[in-house]
Structure 1
Amino acid sequence: MSWRGWLTLVLLLAAGLTGWSVWRGRDVQQTSAQTGGRADYLLEDFELIALDEQGRESFTVRAPRLTRDPAAKTLDIATPVFVIPPGPNARTGAWEVRSHRGWVSADGNELRLRGEVRARSDDADGRPVLMATEQLNVFPDSKRANSAVPVTVTQPGLILNGQSLQAQLDTKRVHLTDVKARYERTAR
């Protein structure tokens, strides 16, 4: 085969690969348009302070990446760190909640945290209160949280394991179902 034959073969192969690539990219664009499309904005390495209807801080979030769905007006956040301040009459500290993924409703009244969720705060005596689960829904304006999956709550000297959780964040009151408790001695 002459050099012209080889050149023709290479050009045909390149044209075929280019056509296949364009065709495949078109399918990806159609799929993303059907599932909500592109984000209307993107934030990287940011800190956002959300305010409630009275202008008080509802929550603060820091994360490496945030995208906003223009149709639903919701936020998707990668590895967020949420800080939920205590209520106006609370004597306890703010909650710091970390997870792999976060979602914020359009009105900012609901936070859905998924994947290795860890929440930490201090009680009225300054002792740490820790919660660990895979899913946690937080309602920052009413200072509530709930989870329908197994949860572990840890305080100095006490470990509670439950199948679901209802929590009042400002008073640190936690209601667990199907509870198993383990008491540990603390150093004096």
Structure 2
Amino acid sequence: MNYRKGALAMSLLVAALGVVVWDMRGQRERRVDTAVRSDYRLERFEMSAYGEDGSIAFGLSSPLLERAADGKTLDIETPAFVFPAEGGRSWQAGARSAWVSDRAREIQLRGDVRIVGPLSKRGLRTEFSADRLSVFPKDNRIASPGWVTVSHGTSILKGKGLEADMKQRRVKLLSEVTARYAPESR
């Protein structure tokens, strides 16, 4: 008789354990379903973003853009940006990835960042390269807390931290600055 009671107790224990495991499996699947997903995604696209005044803030092409579930920020894979400059010219920017804040007030370029300016009157371009740079399209400025290299013709500036006013064409490296100036041949 003890054998039957033991077998019954064991059967009930196994059944209860089965129910618990089944319930846990359902919770795990529900957790996966409620994980943060993108609100929408664009693949292999080109777009133009406009500012509040109706002028073009920037152009963008990329193989993948995903909008966060909060509907406010964007994550972009290998972006190619075009930022307008005076006289119909433009700045080109690229990176491994980018993050765009709500209303595109800030664009963070991440990994192998390169920004190339339009030709100057003397036929030279200004180029910024870094691991991370933030672009503020409305304010026409860029900034970075990390190491940045600024090249113009044959001159090269390197430093940690950057503040640049693109409209005024003023660049400020904040610390540990080194420079190599090579006069251009005429």
Question: TM-score range, shorter-chain basis?
Answer: 0.7 to 0.9
Amino acid at match of 2:60: V
- Give me the whole-angstrom Cα distance separating, in 2, the residues matched to 1:150 and 1:73: 29
Aligned to 2:179: 181
Q: Secondary structure at the match of 2:150?
A: strand
- Give me the whole-angstrom Cα distance separating, in 2, the residues matched to 1:85 and 1:60: 8
- Give me the whole-angstrom Cα distance separating, in 1, the residues matched to 2:185 and 2:27: 64
Q: Describe the superposition over 1:49-105 as per-residue Cα deviations: whole angstroms up to 9, x where unpaired.
A: 11001110001111000000121521100000111101xxx3583111100010111
Aligned to 1:159: 156
Distance 1:142 1:32, change over 3 A: farther
Structure-to-structure mapping, 1:115-126, within 5 angstroms: 115-125=111-121, 126=123
Structure-to-structure mapping, 1:55-74, within 5 angstroms: 55-74=54-73
Distance 1:91 1:49, change over 3 A: closer
Distance 1:186 1:101, change over 3 A: same
Query: RMSD of aligned C-alpha atoms?
Result: 2.4
Aligned to 1:99: 95
Distance 1:77 1:26, change over 3 A: farther
Which is higher, the Rg of structure 1 or of structure 2?
2
Give the TM-score normalised by structure 1. Answer: 0.77
CA contact (8 A) 1:92 1:123 kept: no
Distance 1:48 1:168, change over 3 A: same
Matched, 1:149 2:146: yes
Stretches of 4+ moved more than 6 A in 1?
A: none
Q: Secondary structure at the match of 2:44?
A: strand
CA contact (8 A) 1:145 1:168 kept: yes
Could you tell me the percent identity over the aligned residues? 36
Q: Describe the superposition over 1:12-43 as per-residue Cα deviations: whole angstroms up to 9, x where unpaired.
A: xxxxxxx9xxx5x9758736845xx1111110
Amino acid at match of 1:115: G
Corresponding residue pairs, total: 162
Distance 1:158 1:57, change over 3 A: same
